[in-house]
Amino acid sequence: MAIPEQTHVISVDSVQPDFAAIHVAAELLRAGQLVAFPTETVYGLGANAHDSAAVGCIFSAKSRPANDPIIVHIAALGQIDAVAREIPDLAYQLAQHFWPGPLTLVLARHPNIPPNVSAGLPTVAVRMPVHPVARALIQAADCPIAAPSANTFSRPSATTAQHVLQDLGGRVAVILDAGPTPIGLESTVLDLTGEPVVLRPGGVDLEQLRVFIPNLQIKPRYIATDADPANAPGQLTRHYAPSAQVLLFSGPVGPVRAQMQQTAHDRIASGQRVGVLVIDEERELFVALPGVQVVTLGPGDDLAQVGARLFAALRALDRQGVDVIVVRALARAGLGAAIWDRLLRAADGKFIAVEG
Ligand code: TXA
Ligand code: MG
């Protein structure tokens, strides 16, 4: 593939995407180029999933290790047979309930899908997004689209076209810009190749999945960063991470808030630039600290909004050049499981337990 000389950002309506724009992007995909596009979760960096060379370009554009497998996106259930094989009944049940939507199923890989999509694994991750732009693009390209999140490897995922441009400008032919992605956290990844196990909590809650799989387990992925990266790069702890160090506090709310204020104060006193990531109600506790950058995530009881704003907030603090980001754990039920996962990985797998 020729390296694009520049990246074209094309605005598209998020509900009724303009056919001409979709057609341009689809033709580029068919010609082996990369196209970034919005999904309901985050922006994806897409290539024709049947084109091994184009898929290879995804890895180089993102600086992604070759042993981190990529999700294949389809627009209709009929496409699944050309992507996966030996598909269990449970996959169809889940697809009927959760597709199109933010659920990714790991299945046995069909030989049509080149091995580098799945980093050589005999499995393949499949998802049917609900975002009209993603659906229109897959339909127009008339092929399944392999797409990881459209960020540089280990950075926070891109929830706007501007984030994609910041990370991948000059490395992708076209970015379809349909505004911020509504969920803002990636899909839930569910492995169905053995005993069902959630590999990544995401846009579909574990509670919703347990209606279908009562004893569903979640496999902890918080392994140490000094683990051999060749073994399980997708499971490296530090991920979704800004350049700044993230200090994640967990414990009873009152003492945690006090500890966060103290830490912010101490770090400022020692000459560091401090960012604080808080729910709206906590803004007042920090704005008076001189020099502190406070970014809010929305009301504490609205985890959908917190999730939707999280990655953009981490990126905003990075752009403000802070050295350290102070944040606390929120409720872990529902979407809270995915929010906790992303915060913990941004914090290098470590949190600071505050006693009551
Ligand atoms: O919401 C999403 O899932 C977004 C949008 C663009 O669809 N995509 C996304 O892709 O987050 P990515 O590559 O950033 O994350 C995919 C995750 C990785 O943790 C990867 O290791 C895992 O899915 N994965 C992909 N294929 C797999 C496979 N065959 N077996 C196990 N895990 C797999
Ligand atoms: Mg990613």
pLDDT of 213? 98
Give the residue, by CA position, lying nearest to ligand 1 atom 29.
124
Ligand 1 neighbourhood includes 186 CB (under 6 angstroms): yes
pLDDT at 154: 87
Closest C-alpha residue for ligand 1 atom 7: 44
Q: Which structural domains are found in the chain, ordered by start?
A: 8-209 (3.90.870.10), 245-353 (3.40.50.11030)
Tokens of 254: 């009152």
Instruction: Answer with the residue of higher pLDDT: 334 or 241.
Output: 334
Q: In angstroms, rounded to a whole number, what is the distance separating the alpha carbons of residues 320 and 240?
A: 17
Q: Which ligand is nearest to the CA of 37?
A: 1
Provide the pLDDT confidence category of residue 319 given band limits of 50, 70 and 90.
very high
Burial 299-333 (b: 16+ CB within 10 A, else e): ebeebebbbbbbbbbbbbbbeeebebbbbbbbebe
Residue 287 Cα to ligand 1 middle (Å)? 37
Cα(217) to ligand 2 centroid in Å equals 22
Partners of residue 38 on adjacent β-strands: 43
Whether the CB of 187 sits within 6 Å of ligand 1: yes
Q: What is the pLDDT of residue 237?
A: 60
Which residue has a Cα nearest atom 24 of ligand 1?
A: 69
Query: Is 149 near ligand 1, meaning CB less than 6 Å away?
Result: yes
Q: Is the pLDDT of residue 56 over 90?
A: yes
Cis upstream peptide for 114 (omega within 30°) = no
What is the mean pLDDT of the segment spanning 123-140?
Answer: 98
Percent of the chain with pLDDT over 90: 90
Across 232-260, b (16+ Cβ under 10 Å) vs e yields ebbbbbebbbbebbbbbbbbeeeebbebb
Is residue 299 very low, low, confident or very high in pLDDT (cuts 50, 70, 90)? Answer: very high
SS3 content of the chain, % helix, strand, coil (to 5): 35, 20, 45
For residue 68, the ligand 1 atom closest to its alpha carbon is 21
- The per-residue pLDDT for range 159-213, each reduced to its tens digit, is 999 999 999 999 999 999 999 999 999 999 999 999 999 999 999 999 999 999 9
Pairwise CA distance, residues 232 & 281, whole Å: 39
What was the pLDDT predicted at 356? 84
Which ligand places an atom closest to the C-alpha of 42? 1
The finding on whether 48 has its CB within 6 A of some atom of ligand 1 is no
- Using one digit for the tens of pLDDT, what is the confidence trace for 135-168? 999 999 999 999 999 999 989 999 999 999 999 9
Report the nearest atom of ligand 1 relative to the CA of 44. 6
Q: Is 148 in the pocket of ligand 1 (CB under 6 A)?
A: yes
Residues whose CB is less than 8 angstroms from the CB of residue 319 and which lie 6 or more positions away in sequence, other chains included: none
Counting ligand 1 atoms within 8 A of each CB, the residue from 64, 85, 189 with the most, and so the one to mutate, is: 189
Closest atom of ligand 1 to CA, residue 102? 1
pTM recorded for the entire structure: 0.95
Asked if 125 contacts 119 with a C-beta cutoff of 8 angstroms, the reply is no
| C-alpha 262 – ligand 2 centre gap (Å) | 33
Q: According to the model, what pLDDT value does residue 221 have?
A: 60
Q: How confident is the model at residue 116 (pLDDT cuts 50, 70, 90)?
A: very high
Give the distance (Å) from ligand 1 centre to CA of residue 265. Answer: 38
Q: Tens digit of pLDDT for each residue in 219-265?
A: 866 544 444 444 444 555 677 778 899 999 999 999 999 999 999 99
**HSE-CB for 247 with a 13 A CA cutoff:** 20
Examine the pLDDT at 312 and tell me if it is beyond 60. yes
Percent of residues, the chain, with pLDDT higher than 70: 94
Residue 347 has pLDDT above 80, yes or no: yes
Mean pLDDT of 18-36: 98
Distance CA 261, CA 289 (A): 9
* Res 306: pLDDT: 98
